[in-house]
Structure 1
């Protein structure tokens, strides 16, 4: 009777060790994220990032403007916020790894609160929605993906 518990105990111990190891070991970092979730007023978009890079063969620079001498592109929302409001103006500096990034929008690295005439003209910098629509829709139109007014819910969740 006792002998039948030995294999069950061994299996439980092995599975417990495997579960603990899986829980305690950090996951391997991915070079390219599998998906990127973009929350917005038009309905959440789950962008299949890995699918677009591997299956369609896009390089990082095809969508991300530049990488400012680093391995990882800067998040789109760092330059293209939902709105150019006071919160963005006060906090956007935290999104950039180097001062070199400031030169994308500023003529010089800002050292103090800027005078109104020294601030970039945000009329020429697209918001996040405008940037995504411009980038995604133009590529979808060229590549034959979902495109046009009738296809919003191909990407946007309802």
Structure 2
């Protein structure tokens, strides 16, 4: 190697080493300086440090999983997926597996077992046992416990106990099921996890339940949790419009997005 290149080579290696060490250091506040956000409309370089320090934007303003300041705020992508497919749900559960207080922000209700009065249904509400139990004697020769056949998970063509009982209950209580989650309280007692945590009470939130479509059906998931682009636009443009500064109109996209 010619001598004149030695200094340049050594200098570049030193700079690379400094860069690696700098990025590997665990800073006290763990705040990124700039973020590159991929988007079909062109990448956006977001100056995180300026918003956090110069503009004095509190963490919980954008990282809104908690109403109070937090040291371990989650990145937007942990909740707002590009697409809410199976892989996102798996990553989402993993991201919050050790933080139940964060789960409670969205998973805001813990339902207890149904309040079930068998005697009242048998003597006052039902005309016969077969209103609830199978009328086909080949399936159920004598009325028995639902859980004798319907287990905690589907077995072959037999639905699980939850699906089976809900289907049977819905045949008489259509108006409760039409009300969605709000109708559940007619049978289930529940704990509002957000209020419980705010009151300093411990709540057992199961991160494995992080599948919104269990209660919130199909396409409605995007009404509950906006995708990443909608979330960024909602946060950024709302703030800019409120302050009357920066881009927030549709004809100002090029002020953030770069081709």
**Per the shorter chain, which TM-score range?**
0.7 to 0.9
Secondary structure (helix, strand or coil) at the match of 1:47 reads: strand
State the Cα distance separating 1:131 from its structure 2 match: 0.8
Query: 2:166 matched to 1:65?
Result: no
Q: Single out whichever of 28-37 and 105-114 deviates more from structure 2.
A: 105-114
For the structure 1 residues 103 and 51, does the alpha-carbon distance in structure 2 shift closer, same or farther, using more than 3 Å as the test? same
Query: 2:84 matched to 1:84?
Result: yes
Query: 2:256 matched to 1:155?
Result: yes
State the Cα distance separating 1:119 from its structure 2 match: 5.4
Unaligned runs of 5+ in 1: 1-11
5 Å-filtered alignment, 1:92-107, equals 92-96=92-96, 97-106=98-107, 107=109
Asked if the contact 2:81/2:227 (under 8 Å) is kept, the reply is: yes
State the Cα distance separating 1:39 from its structure 2 match: 1.1
CA deviation map 1:42-79 (0-9, x unaligned): 21111001111222121112222144874121111111
For the structure 1 residues 43 and 74, does the alpha-carbon distance in structure 2 shift closer, same or farther, using more than 3 Å as the test? same
Query: 2:141 matched to 1:140?
Result: no
What TM-score does the superposition give when structure 2 sets the normalisation length? 0.47
State the Cα distance separating 1:150 from its structure 2 match: 1.1
Greater strand share, 1 or 2?
Answer: 2
Query: 2:227 matched to 1:127?
Result: yes
Secondary structure (helix, strand or coil) at the match of 1:103 reads: helix
Higher-Rg structure is 2
CA deviation map 1:92-147 (0-9, x unaligned): 11112412322222234345696954457512211111111011001111221122
Q: Single out whichever of 58-67 and 138-147 deviates more from structure 2.
A: 58-67
Q: Which residue of 2 aligns with 1:5?
A: none
CA RMSD of aligned residues (A): 3.1
Unaligned runs of 5+ in 2: 1-6, 111-204
Q: Which residue of 2 aligns with 1:40?
A: 39
What TM-score does the superposition give when structure 1 sets the normalisation length? 0.73
5 Å-filtered alignment, 1:106-117, equals 106=107, 107-108=109-110, 109-110=205-206, 111=208, 117=214
**Count of paired positions:** 143
State the Cα distance separating 1:35 from its structure 2 match: 0.7
